[in-house]
Amino acid sequence: MERVFNFAAGPATMPLEVLQSIEKNVCNFEGEGLSVMEMSHRSKTYEKIINETRDNLKKILELDDNFDILFLQGGASSQFAMVPLNLANNGDLTYYAVTGNFANKAWEEAKRWTNAVDITNSKPDKYKFIPKIDNSKLDKSAKYLHITANNTIFGTMYDKLPEVDIPLVADVSSNVLGKNYDYKKFALAYAGAQKNLGPAGLTVVVINKKFIREDIDTFVPTMFRYDIHAKNGSMYNTPPTFAIYVAGEMFKWVIREGGVKEIEKRNVEKAKILYDLIDNSTFYKPFAEKESRSIMNVTFNLPTEELEAKFVAEAKDEGMINLKGHRVLGGIRASIYNAMTIEGVKELAEFMQKFEKNNK
């Protein structure tokens, strides 16, 4: 089969030119006689790869030297634990904006060690909007406010970061490098790589150095301490070397494409094509409220579940895969991360119009 249009929520589509560059180097990296997978992480060549990768991300996110970038393992799910274990003491007050499934998992995990309070209220509405956060109601002694910048399952996103007087922590797994936030506003932001950064198995953490603590409770595993990873340049133990290399190729692609601002513009355009079609249809029904819509995951419903199943199957036959919504919500979800082309989105839109005509 020719290359498909892959609308998966993650692991997700990658730019073909990045894959081709990896392909060219799989057996013999830049003529050095071995694969990146075979390279000692302490070798000069690999150190150049990881340093360049770190530097490029700092450049893309416009971070100064107050910030450190860590390349870790364990996914966002490990960060759900690392954040409270490192940024708070046992029993401390922490705030969580529970705006979806993963936000809820982060909150549940934080409750093991901290007095973690959910300050949102969108669950009865199936998380279809991002609630406003009222800074005046927040106890300033709280260690941080944790938000989930983009909610893949529900297709909602913070268009603007909340303005609060306590440290802001964000799970940016699904819109990092796709939505232009001011990363200097974060005490900490983390992202599983498998949406906009490359392959699963790498987690990128951006941390303001003043939040790196050494006086951590002794029961915290060494591998769950930011200070240990920061002190060792993400090489306390062997890092996921190949995944970091691929992320580096993704970062170079982002730079070639004009950076996050340019990519965000394109993402807005892509999302608009689909939302406009949905809003102008009586057949398709949008899920997320307008002001809270994600530019990464577009969620909607068809008149019946049977039609939704038919939609997913017929789209697949036309080379557009993974359009089925998450089992928690059902419906249709089109994930249109950075690497999804406008061409792919237009093809989906055409298919949607045709499907509506044939099934109305």
Return the closest-CA partner of residue 151 out of 119, 208, 195, 185: 195
Contact 91, 112 (CB under 8 A): no
Stretch of 152-160, 222-230, 282-290, 302-310 lying at the interface with a second copy (CB under 8 A): 222-230
Task: Compute the CA torsion angle 83, 155, 13, 284 (nearest 10 deg).
Answer: 170
Cα-Cα-Cα-Cα dihedral sign, residues 224, 227, 230, 232: negative
Least Å distance, CB 78 to a second copy, is 5
CA dist., res. 225 & res. 231, Å (int): 10
Residue 202 within binding range of a second copy, rule CB under 8 A: yes
Residue 194 within binding range of a second copy, rule CB under 8 A: yes
3-class state of residue 67 by DSSP: strand
Which of 117, 161, 200, 307 touches a second copy (CB under 8 A)? 200
- Tokens at residue 300, please? 């909607």
Which of 6, 151, 299, 338 touches a second copy (CB under 8 A)? 6
Q: Tell me the per-residue interface mask from 304 to 333 with a second copy, x by CB under 8 A, - otherwise.
A: ---------------x-xx-----------
When the beta carbons of 249 and 264 are compared against a second copy, the nearer one is: 249
From start to end of 97-225, where are the E strands?
Answer: 115-118, 145-148, 150-151, 156-157, 168-171, 188-192, 203-208
Q: What is the DSSP string of 195-249?
A: TTTSSTT-EEEEEEGGG--S---TTS-GGG-HHHHHHTTT-SS---HHHHHHHHH
Q: Which of residues 52-81 bind a second copy (CB under 8 A)?
A: 73-78, 80-81
From start to end of 76-178, where are the E strands?
Answer: 93-96, 115-118, 145-148, 150-151, 156-157, 168-171
Residue 199 within binding range of a second copy, rule CB under 8 A: yes
Stretch of 144-152, 163-171, 199-207, 265-273 lying at the interface with a second copy (CB under 8 A): 199-207
Least Å distance, CB 351 to a second copy, is 16
Provide the b/e sequence for 163-191 (b: ≥16 CB within 10 Å): ebebbbbbbbbbbbbbbbbebeebbbbbb
Q: Tell me the per-residue interface mask from 17 to 56 with a second copy, x by CB under 8 A, - otherwise.
A: --xx-xx--xxx--xxxxx-xxxxx-x-------------
Cα-Cα-Cα-Cα dihedral sign, residues 51, 234, 228, 108: positive
Backbone angles phi, psi at 306, to 5 degrees: -65, -45
Stretch of 10-18, 129-137, 279-287, 295-303 lying at the interface with a second copy (CB under 8 A): 10-18
Least Å distance, CB 320 to a second copy, is 11
Residue 14 within binding range of a second copy, rule CB under 8 A: yes
Which of 127, 183, 211, 242 touches a second copy (CB under 8 A)? 242
Which of 118, 180, 233, 236 touches a second copy (CB under 8 A)? 236
Least Å distance, CB 120 to a second copy, is 22
CA dist., res. 26 & res. 213, Å (int): 39
Which of 51, 59, 62, 112 touches a second copy (CB under 8 A)? 112
Least Å distance, CB 198 to a second copy, is 7
Footprint of a second copy (CB under 8 A):
1-4, 6, 8-14, 16, 19-20, 22-23, 26-28, 31-35, 37-41, 43, 73-78, 80-82, 85, 109, 112-113, 192, 194, 198-202, 218-219, 221-224, 236-243, 246, 319, 321-322
